Chain A
């Protein structure tokens, strides 16, 4: 009799789904276990328990595990200081490489693994010995630099942090990687000496801004740092692949990390293999690298702090159409991460738009959304050769009983979604979709709005009435959770149709009109409680 897989319901539901909840804990192994690398059981030390696993299903620690954990604890304490570089064993590194790295970087280390053609930035070609992230004044990175990249990955690219591998494996990998270009590592790397750190201040940021223009950072990185400089289109790396400048307003994507030292080091030493040169000799005084660092960190928030719920604030009076109005920009945004659409062909493995900041309000008549996103190229859209830029909010057309709703990827043949959509050259319209390429505008659109583009950033206001005129569009009511999803297209990056960035379903909620409940209720509760207690005391004393 065939065993049947039993249905299992998650414990905390989607609570952990967006990275806000507890993620899986990864148990690092003891260094002694490394000798097994290369066997078929190499992976059993990696992720142990997923976010949805009830605690009782987790493996019990065995005696060996406890000893291993103790050794790890001790080594963690030992590593708390500056971790000492270790000599790795290239042969052992080969085994780890074949298992973990070859898929992208290729068996020969030439960056031609089976996944390579889908990845941008392309995987590193180790045979050249050219590395982006280095803390040296010479062209070779230190062993520690290579170790750090393996450990922390390259944020904003497909290179993940490999901190799940034991230290020993990572040092072995360092040794193995160097073997792809041994002549490059013959000379000892020359340490880069950074000038003395200058703490951030208004004065330092002003000076950094001057330098930013003086040494022409803006030519590639753009006036506001949004990677929209005029040279952007011409940039190529040493292998001839087009390469995008860093968006300086999103430091969490900086390849070598966003610490002050990391940023100053990139400015001073440059990013090898890319058009980003060393600037230590171009700035007026060496400490200008710190002023530049302070300026760059002042351009954007330190973390995206992604939202899990979109709250629509209640306002009285008119809602401005101007996306630049202070009414909008003074409100705190909800940042929503967007991912590439890799479900339907043609797929988008390297989405251009990775985040949209949403502000939403409603009054007694209409609901309005203010959306901000970075797009390095403005496309005129309709009537021109260029593909249009576009952004859409997606809702189920009708409130559903229970959890059912249309397929998050713009609906399917049987279940349509409602879209509130803006497209450059066309403006805002309401549409129905039965799939990513099956859009039908709704006749008699009641939506309105306006977009402005400046310095690599769109700001857009979209409005429509709260009430629904017919079955094809949803109505919005306070205190109801409504599913919402987002899609975005950067025409300048060739995105159209299924080539888009998108989200899965989020929730949107219109907050109740501002109430004073929270100030009235507590005193009432306290007074009632006091009265009841006094009564109890009185009765008790009368009885005794």
Chain B
């Protein structure tokens, strides 16, 4: 166990284990830039740890120093002199020969909605309106059925039969169509937010959401106000998600 007590071995182990955990322990894989930031933090922390007092620092430096100067470590020294330059050369090769990748498209997925929108000449208060179809629970099933028809005739091609964003046109579009089964989409949004997104589509997005890339049509041209509420009702019904509720007024 004396090996594990060596400051140097401890430091190397901490760095290696952190890297393994960050690189292979996270699903989906974290981007390289994130791993780099975390690794920099880990290395700094390790350096602080080994230099906490001068004894510790000497213990950390001792194996390094002896590799550099001890006559009986000559073979290790030579191996380092061969292996490290080769590794660096290989790294330089991978960098120089790398094929460029398309730059990522950063965008706000759920931007803040406007307070109100104009829908065919009528003002709709996005920050305050509730789904009017939910007022009459008896008629809700009819609305869900009507919403299903609207969905399958208009939305299915991108958002998919299964409402999972995997319709048959989905692979061609970037950003990909929203996956309504995902707890990060309609489940965290209010119904009025959906009304805005459906009515105004891509052209109604703010710039941080790259309106020029999105294939979402502005459905106000094709669907009536009631039809949009019907399809919203269907989305929640078919996925089993609950719309986010408004906070109670104080």
Give the residues in chain A near B69, CB-CB below 8 Å: 540-541, 544
Which size bracket describes the interface of B in this complex? 35 or more
| Interface presence of A419 (CB below 8 A) | no
Cβ 8 A contact of B109, one of A8, A12, A309, A536: A8
Tell me the chain A residues, 295-325 only, with Cβ under 8 Å from chain B.
Answer: 306, 308-309, 311
Report if B24 contacts A (CB, 8 A).
no
Tell whether B168 is near chain A: CB-to-CB under 8 Å.
yes
| B63 contacts chain A at the CB level, 8 A cutoff | no
B18 at the interface (CB under 8 A from A): no
Majority secondary structure of chain B interface residues (helix, strand, loop or mixed): loop
A2:B92 contact, CB within 8 angstroms = no
- Answer whether residue B149 sits at the interface, using C-beta atoms and an 8 A cutoff: yes
Q: How far is the CA of A42 from the CA of B240 in the complex (A)?
A: 7
CB distance A517 to B96 under 8 Å? Answer: yes
Considering the complex, give the chain B residue whose CB is closest to the CB of A412.
B203
**Pairwise interchain contact A9-B88, C-beta atoms closer than 8 A:** no
B:135-190 near A, CB below 8 Å: 148-149, 151-153, 156-158, 160-169, 171-176, 178-179, 181-185, 188-190
Whether the Cβ atoms of A160 and B112 lie closer than 8 Å is no
* Interface majority SS (helix, strand, loop, mixed), chain A: loop
A47 touches B182 (CB 8 A): yes
**Which A residues touch B26, using CB under 8 A?**
55
- In angstroms, Cα B182 to Cα A139, docked, is 41
Q: Does A285 contact B (CB under 8 A)?
A: no
- By a CB distance below 8 angstroms, the chain A residues around B27 are 55
Q: Given the complex, which residues of B lie within 8 Å of A6, measured CB to CB?
A: 110, 112
Closest B-chain residue to A39, C-beta based? B240
Question: Is the pair A43, B163 in contact by a Cβ cutoff of 8 Å?
Answer: yes
Residues B101 and A309 in contact, CB atoms below 8 Å apart: yes
B89 and A523: CB pair below 8 A?
yes
Q: Is B45 an interface residue (CB 8 A)?
A: no
- Are A8 and B110 touching (Cβ within 8 A)? yes
A49 and B185 CA atoms in complex are apart in Å by 10
* Chain A residues positioned under 8 Å from B189 (CB to CB): 5
8 Å CB interface, A321-373 against B: 337-340, 342-345, 349
> A1-42 CB contact bits vs B (8 Å, 1 = yes)?
111111111111111111100101010000000000000111
- How many Å from the CB of B205 to the closest CB on chain A? 11
List 7 A-B pairs, minimum CB-CB distance, nearest first. A13-B104, A526-B89, A14-B105, A339-B172, A103-B152, A17-B174, A50-B182
| Further 4 A-B residue pairs, CB within 8 A, beyond A5-B193, A103-B148 | A47-B165, A49-B184, A53-B184, A115-B152
